[in-house]
Structure 1
Amino acid sequence: MAGDGRPVAGARLRTVALVGIDGSGKTTQANRLAMVLGDAGVPAVYRQNAGGRAWFGHLARRLGRADGPALFGRVGMLWVESVLRWLAIARTTLRSAFARDIAVMDRHAVDQYVSIRAHAGGRGEWLARLAYALFPAPDVTVLLAVDPRDAYRRIEARGTDHESLAYLSAADAAFRSLPESPRFLVVDAGGAPDEVTTAVLAALRPWLPPVHLPPDLDPDGPVTPARRPESPPRSSAPTRRSPGT
């Protein structure tokens, strides 16, 4: 991969990370992308790099608390989330090192940096970066860009968790302020799932060798998976999947 994020001639795509604010469609699109590529003969597998915030939010509500920070405190929740995401990325990186398929990652380290910036004003980000520096950056990072107001409506509609519009706006700004942001492939995630999947595939086309890119991945209309995406694998701190996740 070139220093500006462009593909290097002859390089094989190994890892793609889909990142974005909550409600941007990361889980849905990572599942769909892995399925569409696999059905077209391009070996690809979904990998979840969850931090457990949604799972702990569910646990907190069952215990009569508002959310995860109400259980651990805001700083404590960020530490828990950082550790769980580090472990998830470690597992994904290890699997990818011995696999020949494309790892389509649902979130990556930059999601944690954004969480720290939006929840804690960036305090402690240097420590997270030190820990996550052990992992190679994804070959391609796709930022699913969505208006925070639309993301808020999606989250409220799925009814499994809650984020304030203020936080979503802060997270959106944080993604664009990251030093990694110039390398992101930005895809408009405000449309219907099929439209977003089509846009993600179009953005990834330069990284997919023509010999591995069947004609049906360059459609005139939106891409619809031939099969319903499976539920993401369960982790020690699973998150729920929904059309707007």
Structure 2
Amino acid sequence: MALLAQSDPAPAPSGGPRRTPRTIALVGIDGSGKTTQARVVAAELAATGIRAVYRQNAGGRHWFGRMATLVGRTDAEDLFGRRGALIVESVLRWLAIARNLVRRLAHREAAVMDRYAVCQYASLRAHGARPSAERFARLAYRLFPRPDVTFFLAVDPEIAQERIERRGYDTETMEYLRTADAAYRSLPEYPTFVVIDANGTPEQVTKAILAEIGQA
């Protein structure tokens, strides 16, 4: 059922119309279009008079990957080791989410989140971390409320890889993209996601997301 959007993101009174979700999260594998869609959806909502903003919750993996190449390493895992890279990613994503939730409360805005806590759980699974690592992450991230709606951008790994190659600043193997997709779908939160077909054009994907929010 679509979520009816209003200009005031505050909760609706009992029996009243549904309001714009205060926290909208876009998640999915690399190349699914999370950043593009989060920016556009925030702009589209803002254009209707809703106080909506784009917020990024990156874990720094791409940034450290670029830094690694400058010092002769292949990627973040080569720079920090697999366990070290996952720890750094988990900490940076936690800090980003905490900062953005504080901003949301302070500014009374609707935050369109580019990634959220579930992205870290999926990353840990995709990188073969021990179950204890995910349990620890869940304890740390349990401070954060679940988004009002989480959109999972479902994309074929082949299409995702083509998009990653076109942007030109990083690479992902087909094996990892398939593993990451399976990791998201294995999460206990997955049944609560609103799955969006992200194989189409950016405009088609945006239209599908806005239709679910009630702004199409």
Decide which moves more: 9-18 or 144-153.
Answer: 9-18
Q: CA deviation at 1:100?
A: 2.3
TM-score of the pair, normalised by structure 2: 0.89
Helix, strand or coil: the match of 1:120? coil
TM-score of the pair, normalised by structure 1: 0.79
Q: Of 142, 160, 165, which aligns to 1:156?
A: 165
Q: Of 104, 118, 124, which aligns to 2:112?
A: 104
Amino acid at match of 2:176: Y
* 1:98/1:9 CA distance change after superposition, 3 Å: farther
Distance 1:100 1:33 in 2: 18
Distance 2:144 2:49 in 1: 28
Q: CA deviation at 1:22?
A: 0.4
Distance 2:30 2:80 in 1: 20
Report if the CA contact (8 A) 1:75-1:120 is conserved: no
Report if the CA contact (8 A) 1:30-1:46 is conserved: yes
Q: CA deviation at 1:41?
A: 1.4
2:29 equivalent to 1:29: no
Question: What is the aligned partner in structure 2 of residue 93 from structure 1?
Answer: 101
2:102 equivalent to 1:127: no
Helix, strand or coil: the match of 1:22? coil
2:57 equivalent to 1:81: no
- Aligned residues: percent identity? 60
Moved over 3 A (4+): 7-12
2:196 equivalent to 1:187: yes
Question: What is the aligned partner in structure 2 of residue 144 from structure 1?
Answer: 153
Amino acid at match of 1:51: G
Question: What is the aligned partner in structure 2 of residue 20 from structure 1?
Answer: 28
RMSD across aligned positions (CA)? 1.5
Q: Of 162, 165, 169, which aligns to 2:174?
A: 165
List runs of 5+ in structure 1 lacking aligned partners.
1-6, 206-216, 219-245
Q: CA deviation at 1:99?
A: 2.4
Distance 1:163 1:131 in 2: 28
Report if the CA contact (8 A) 1:16-1:140 is conserved: yes
Question: What is the aligned partner in structure 2 of residue 45 from structure 1?
Answer: 53
Decide which moves more: 13-22 or 92-101.
Answer: 92-101
List runs of 5+ in structure 2 lacking aligned partners.
1-11
* 1:128/1:9 CA distance change after superposition, 3 Å: farther
* 1:182/1:9 CA distance change after superposition, 3 Å: farther
Q: CA deviation at 1:199?
A: 0.6
Decide which moves more: 153-162 or 30-39.
Answer: 153-162
Report if the CA contact (8 A) 1:187-1:203 is conserved: no
Amino acid at match of 2:198: A
Q: Of 123, 127, 134, which aligns to 1:115?
A: 123
Distance 2:48 2:162 in 1: 33
Report if the CA contact (8 A) 1:16-1:103 is conserved: yes
Deviations 1:210-245 (A, max 9, x none): xxxxxxx43xxxxxxxxxxxxxxxxxxxxxxxxxxx
Report if the CA contact (8 A) 1:14-1:101 is conserved: yes
Distance 1:92 1:9 in 2: 30
